[in-house]
Structure 1
Amino acid sequence: MATVKTTTGEEVAKIAEEIYQKLKGKGGIKRVYCLACGGSKASCYLLENFLQTESKTIFAQSYSANEFVYDTPKGLDGQSVAFAMSMGGSTKETMDAARVAKEHGATVVTLSITPDAAIAKIGDHHVVYSDESTLGFEAINQALLLRFGFEFLRLQEGYEFYDQAVDGYKKLPGLCERVVKLVAARAKRFGVEHKDEPVIYTMTSGPASYAAYMECICMFMEMEWVHSSSIHSGEFFHGPFEVTDQDTPFVMMLGDGPTRPLDERALKFLQRYGKKITVIDAKELGVNTMDGHVTGYYGAILIWIAALEYAKGLAEAKEHPLFMRRYMGKVEY
């Protein structure tokens, strides 16, 4: 099997430069829309969160692709950049959303794991990313999208911590490999201890929210058929904490960004009133080898890499392969 050449960080920087120069005369990049479904949509959150937090001039929002088609935002225009991502490159809803963005004059960047994907024909630029479960960590989609955020902010506003962000980008693959080894035994133990649980909640805040959401809807619900819900740490005390007891399992993800105190507060409550608590902590995973101004974003990726291993451990213990389906691709929907 031939090795697929994935897009590099340097190539992302060139694409970002081309997009910015194209829109500079119109007043620059005004809006960034991320269009995808399921895990692909969740993977867009780092870009969205980064621009929402760090940029003064670029509005960013993620859309479930079909919602974007049926309820298209009025702000979509020639100063917009739309990222349309589909792992296999043929998700109908995402392809339709990319076409809508194109029709409204937006610059469209498509992303998939293959260079000749159907969706690539729609975009102005195509990015090939690696699937972290099979192809390694050199070009995972979350990191490539985050790199676009760094580049856009550098070009349009001047990003104060750009050098630190690029340095973290270079360190990321090695740290991801380290995480897999670090949590291997824990992931197996998690699987054995949780294989018969009917429900598992995930919780975090900030950039790591995408990891909790993906673990919930993609890993536990889609792949392992386990009931789950992703809870925001800040919202935990405004309703969800009432389900806490000695029998209800939580996967608590502690990020390393400004919202970490929200996660620590929720964890403290769980440790007092709960029992089945699994903690995934970005600090323990090694994110502090990077500059503190970017650890919130990269820590979220390391948390996801760890969470994926926990899902694999659960699949092994349940003897339920991650890619076994009842409905997806099997029935009409």
Structure 2
Amino acid sequence: MTDGTFIGIQPVKDIPGDIRGSQEHALTLWPEISSYVLGLPELNRVYLVGAGGSLSGLHAAQYFLDRRATTPVTSVNSDEFYYRASPGVGPGALVILLSAAGMTPETAKAASWAQERGAAVVAVTLNAEGALAQAVNTAFIAKNGDGNQVLLQLLALAILEREGQNVSTELSALDALPAATETAVQAFEPYAAKIAENMKDVPVTYLIASGSLQGMGTTFTSCFLQEMQWMHAATINANEFFQGAFEVFDKNTKSILYLGEDETRPMAERADRFLEEYSGETFRVDSRELELPGISPELRAFVAPLVFYTISFRLAAHYAAVRGYSLEGRRYMWQFAY
């Protein structure tokens, strides 16, 4: 921990060597996940629950389910979930909770409460010994965050499978994901360095996104920039951008724009046209430009948020290198009781 201490400009850390292995490990859990969801006696609603980066990490799965599932699904902050105490949380509900380290007390409390209410409760985490995994009867354990994202999409596919939908093409895309992610991340490195160098000292970082990439954008600004780099930052939905936020943009404003390949791409393209004319430099991270070998064109939108998860981590690593603040450092989090 740096406890908020400047450690000096550093060379960027190497790309982690466990990305591919973690995704491949997560894919081996598909039979277990499918069996669990198919074996539920009743399923008529789904809650996706987490806090902070884990809440935004649920967004891609929710987007996919919103597009494909007939089963109603909602995502909610862990403490909100507990204190709202929805009467829908009970038999027939599936509650999926995400916590990477598995030690977020609000998420563990929410899990215990939902299980006591008779809901089917599943944890997705990296820590089999953590408070979250220990609070539930069923936990799927990944090796890193890239694996967590795969597990969440597998749970979403299992829900569709239970509804009678054919998910074989999506499963084939996930099988190709580990190699595709490696290729995309390697190719992204020079652009990540360019973005970090140009954006490292802006007074406020605005990141604009839509659809399945909204959560990945929020993870980047709230976790990597606010939490780990102590930078003022915000992710703005591409349509919400035109409901007020665009008024603060001018030729001195720099921003980042995530463009996906899902159905909401026209929203991001509309924002892009405005930024091109009225704003300063915009750094576009466009899913269409990613090299994704083995992924068929019709499935690129499905895997894009999982790849963006990984490249957002790499972008954060480049920020840490040029700003001199380790991603492991915190000023307040974990430093004392709050």
TM-score greater than 0.5 by the shorter chain: yes
Q: TM-score, normalised by structure 2?
A: 0.88
Equivalent in the alignment of 1:297: 302
Contact in 2 for aligned 1:34/1:44 (Cα 8 Å): yes
Partner deviation per Cα, 1:238-268 (whole Å, 9 max, x = no partner): 2111111122221100000111111111111
Aligned ranges 1:1-333 → 2 under 5 Å: 8-23=26-41, 28-56=42-70, 58-132=71-145, 137=146, 140-159=147-166, 162-287=167-292, 289-333=294-338
Q: How does the TM-score come out when normalised to structure 1?
A: 0.90
Identity %: 26
Structural RMSD (CA): 2.0
Amino acid across the alignment from 1:78: P
Paired positions, count: 318
Corresponding letter in the other structure for 2:39: Q
Unaligned runs of 5+ in 1: none
More off after superposition, 271-280 vs 289-298: 289-298
1:182 aligned counterpart, secondary structure: helix
Q: Secondary structure at the match of 1:149?
A: helix
- 1:116 maps to a residue whose letter is E
Q: What are the ranges of 5 or more consecutive residues in structure 2 without an aligned counterpart?
A: 1-17
Whether the 8 Å contact between 1:256 and 1:282 is mirrored in structure 2 is yes
Q: Hey, which bits of structure 1, 4+ residues long, moved more than 6 A?
A: 3-6
> Which amino acid in the other structure matches residue 82 of structure 2?
V
Structure 2 Cα separation of the partners of residues 293 and 32 of structure 1: 26
- Give the secondary-structure state (helix, strand or coil) at the position aligned to 1:283: helix
Change (3 A) 1:83 1:217: same
TM-superposed CA distance for 1:303, in Å, is: 2.2
Compare relative contact order (CA 8 Å, sep 6+) and give the higher one, 1 or 2: 2
Deviation, structure 1 residue 166? 0.5
Give the conservation status (yes or no) of the 8 Å contact 1:19–1:107.
no
Q: In the superposition, relative to structure 1, how do residues 288 and 210 fare at CA in structure 2: closer, same or farther (>3 Å)?
A: farther
